[in-house]
């Protein structure tokens, strides 16, 4: 595979790229323009499989891009942490320490408040819960797990195609009764707008 082909595939599977946005929108329009009620059983099976494969691909590409974005953020953070620390000020270090005040040292310590002593442990526990997982600890980090999620999403879409097609038929009927000349085309335009809007918002969230 040439470098150009690899670059094109990488852009296709990256939900932040314009290539992915245009291809996914074109696929959405193409699938929306199909009238499933007029298909033969064989063609309907092909149509449903195409919808499931498209859903699985979009899920897989989204997880893959999320992991890639997290890796880039972690790499950028590591680069910032590698900056050298400020040099110590030897003049300040050479200053003599303050004389010990024996009167202050002789004062008895305050009584230990057991309630206050228990608070740091609670704070540490809260910090441990709030600490984000490392990249390799995320479930979607592993390619096999991403594939399982994507296949599950595609299978779920295929399993509910009867319900989706029934809703689609009702929407098309409502548009026809409302006087829309090409209800299927109207749905395709709405699907394209929704697809592009979702892609743009997802792109902004990953780049924020």
Residue-wise pLDDT tens for the chain (208 aa)? 666 888 888 989 999 999 999 999 999 999 999 999 889 999 999 999 999 999 999 999 999 998 888 888 878 776 544 444 454 444 444 444 454 454 554 454 455 454 544 444 444 333 433 444 455 556 667 888 889 999 999 999 999 999 999 999 999 999 999 999 899 999 999 999 999 999 999 888 877 6
3-state helix, strand, coil in the chain (%, to 5): 75, 0, 25
- Please give the torsion angle defined by the CA atoms of residues 46, 48, 51 and 54, in that order, rounded to the nearest 10 degrees: -50
Q: Which residues contact 175 (CB under 8 A, 6 or more apart)?
A: 183, 186, 187
Asked whether the beta carbons of 204 and 16 are under 8 A apart, the reply is: no
Q: Which long-range contacts (CB under 8 A, 24 or more apart) does 174-178 make?
A: none
């Amino acid at each position: 595979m040439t470098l150009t082909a690899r670059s094109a595939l990488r852009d296709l599977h990256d939900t932040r790229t314009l290539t992915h946005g245009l291809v996914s929108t074109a696929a959405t329009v193409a699938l929306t323009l199909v009238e499933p009620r007029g298909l033969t059983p064989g063609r309907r099976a092909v149509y449903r499989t195409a919808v499931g494969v498209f859903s699985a691909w979009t899920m897989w590409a989204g997880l893959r891009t999320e992991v890639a974005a997290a890796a880039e953020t972690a790499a950028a953070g590591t680069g910032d942490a590698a900056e050298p620390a400020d040099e110590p000020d030897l003049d300040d270090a050479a200053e003599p320490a303050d004389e010990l005040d024996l009167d202050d040292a002789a004062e008895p310590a305050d009584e230990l408040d057991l309630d206050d002593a228990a608070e740091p442990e609670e704070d540490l526990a809260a910090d441990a819960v709030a600490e984000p997982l490392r990249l390799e600890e995320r479930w979607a980090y592993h390619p096999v797990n991403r594939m399982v999620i994507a296949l599950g999403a595609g299978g779920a879409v295929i399993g509910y195609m009867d319900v989706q097609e029934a809703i689609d038929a009702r929407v098309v009927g409502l548009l026809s009764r409302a006087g829309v000349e090409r209800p299927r085309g109207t749905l395709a335009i709405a699907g394209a707008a929704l697809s592009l809007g979702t892609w743009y918002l997802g792109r902004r969230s990953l780049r924020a």
